[in-house]
Each structure stands twice: as structure tokens, then as C-alpha cells.
């Protein structure tokens, strides 16, 4: 089976400085004091194309760091991360918007950032506008949008431009309940129709079992469990959180 993501012996360390001034000076002066923080330590896992994998862990377990490594926002201190396929990451939905551009202009901007041509974006434009459902604001500057409207537009662009690898970080729902259900339905349809590889980062074992077949549990930056999602959820609740088991915890994905 073809590999979508391969994480090999990955360790990521950050330098923590006393304040922003020291952080800036540390770029140029080696004697500025700092302490090391290890976010991920000797991580190893492979995700094959078409798999749906949940990464479970408490705050500070290294979940967000491994996402940044996979999306190449940052790079490992040791080891290597190999990605085979076009990634679309639903992390900060409003990131990458130009405030002075209209929503419609930002659709083309986001498309260009993701490697799509202007003619390709013209084919997707109306579908994105319809899904975002923000009315006449689509032709107003994004600086006039509420945070919810930005999130709607960001989600619409991310999901309509079908990825090969979809990464979702605690962002399966935005806005009101109606739009939340619309987003969840779209994610399911995309995964099933296009055989998209899903990497879902979450605290929720319920969400993990709704969308994924496999679970990876991180604790203090280390991979402590990798297996079927129901077993991963039980391990996370029991061994990591110290919670009692939930009766009927296995959830059938629709």
C-alpha cells in the first residue's frame, strides 16, 4: 500500500527565551540564555493513502507540533517527515486572507497559494460562494467580516479544493449548528468519494471514532499507542486521562 505520510525518528525541540526581545536577539547572538523544550521525541508512524487516522492527546502532548511538521510549517530537529500528496490543512480557517480583498478575491488568492490556476478557481468559485453562504458580504472586504464569516469562507475554500491529504485540527465545526452539520457532512462525503487520507487531531474520543478507523495516542511528545481507534480511545481515556471506560463507546461511522 502506498504511503501518504511517513514520520521517522522525529524529535522536535524549541528554544524558549525569557521574552520576545531575547527571542529576537537569540537569532543573532548565541550567548542569549534559553531553555530547550522537547515537543516531540523519537516519533515513528506511517499513514497509508486512504487511511483515516485520529491523533489523540492532552494539551502539550505534541499534537499541534507534529501537524506543523507534516505541513512543513516547521522542520524536525532530528529525523525526517515524508509526505506524498497535496495537503489541505483545516487549522486556522481565516489564515491567509488579505483583509483589504473581498471574499471573492480571497477565494482566488487562497487557490493560488494552494497551487490552483485562475481558470481552475473560476470553475470552483460559485460552489465555494454557495457553500460559505455569507450573502452579499462575499463582495465586501474581509476586514468587515465577523470571525464566524471568515471561518465559513475558510472552510468552504479548504473543502471544495479537494485535497489528497486532509488534516483537521479541532475544527470540524464552525458557526451555528446548521453550518456545523453541513461541514461534518462535507468532510464525510469528501473522504468517501475521493479516498482522501484523513489525519484528525482531537481531544474527543467520540469524534475520533465517528471519522477514523485508527488512532495514535501521544503523551509527553511520545507515541504511546497505535492501533484500532476504539482501542486507542480506551487507552487514551484510561491510561492517559485516568478516566473510567465508557459503556458502548464504539461508534458506528455513518
Q: State pLDDT tens for residues 106-162.
A: 999 888 877 788 999 999 999 999 988 899 999 999 999 987 888 888 888 877 777
pLDDT tens-digit series, residues 15-56: 999 999 999 999 999 899 999 999 999 999 999 998 999 999
Which residues, other chains included, contact 136 with Cβ-Cβ below 8 Å and sequence gap of 6+?
none
In whole numbers, what is the pLDDT of the chain averaged over residues? 86
Helix axes of 103-113 and 118-132: crossing angle, nearest 10 degrees: 130
Rg (alpha carbons) of the chain, rounded to whole number: 20
Residue 83 makes CB contacts below 8 A (sequence gap 6+) with: 4, 5, 6, 70, 72, 165
Name the band, by pLDDT with cuts 50, 70 and 90, for residue 94: low
Amino acid at each position: 500500500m502506498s504511503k501518504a505520510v511517513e514520520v521517522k525518528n522525529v524529535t522536535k525541540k524549541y528554544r524558549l527565551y525569557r521574552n520576545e526581545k531575547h527571542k529576537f536577539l537569540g537569532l543573532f547572538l548565541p550567548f542569549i540564555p534559553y531553555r530547550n523544550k522537547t515537543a516531540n521525541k523519537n516519533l515513528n508512524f506511517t499513514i497509508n493513502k486512504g487511511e483515516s487516522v485520529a491523533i489523540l492527546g492532552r494539551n502539550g502532548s505534541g499534537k499541534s507540533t507534529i501537524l506543523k511538521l507534516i505541513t512543513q510549517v516547521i522542520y524536525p530537529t532530528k529525523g525526517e517527515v515524508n509526505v506524498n500528496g497535496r495537503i489541505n490543512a483545516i487549522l486556522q480557517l481565516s489564515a491567509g486572507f488579505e483583509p483589504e480583498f473581498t471574499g471573492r478575491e480571497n477565494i482566488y488568492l487562497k487557490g493560488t497559494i494552494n497551487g490552483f490556476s485562475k481558470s481552475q478557481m473560476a470553475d470552483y468559485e460559485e460552489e465555494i460562494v454557495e457553500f460559505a453562504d455569507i450573502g452579499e458580504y462575499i463582495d465586501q472586504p474581509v476586514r468587515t467580516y465577523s470571525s464566524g464569516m471568515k471561518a465559513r469562507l475558510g472552510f468552504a475554500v479548504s473543502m471544495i479544493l479537494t485535497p489528497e491529504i486532509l488534516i483537521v485540527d479541532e475544527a470540524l465545526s464552525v458557526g451555528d449548528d446548521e453550518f456545523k452539520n453541513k461541514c461534518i457532512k462535507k468532510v464525510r462525503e469528501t473522504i468517501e468519494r475521493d479516498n482522501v487520507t484523513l489525519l484528525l487531531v482531537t481531544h474527543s474520543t467520540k469524534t475520533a471514532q465517528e471519522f477514523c478507523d485508527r488512532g495514535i495516542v501521544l503523551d509527553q511528545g511520545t507515541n504511546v499507542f497505535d492501533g484500532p481507534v476504539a482501542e486507542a480511545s480506551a487507552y487514551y481515556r484510561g491510561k492517559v486521562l485516568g478516566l473510567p471506560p465508557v459503556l458502548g463507546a464504539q461508534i458506528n461511522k455513518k
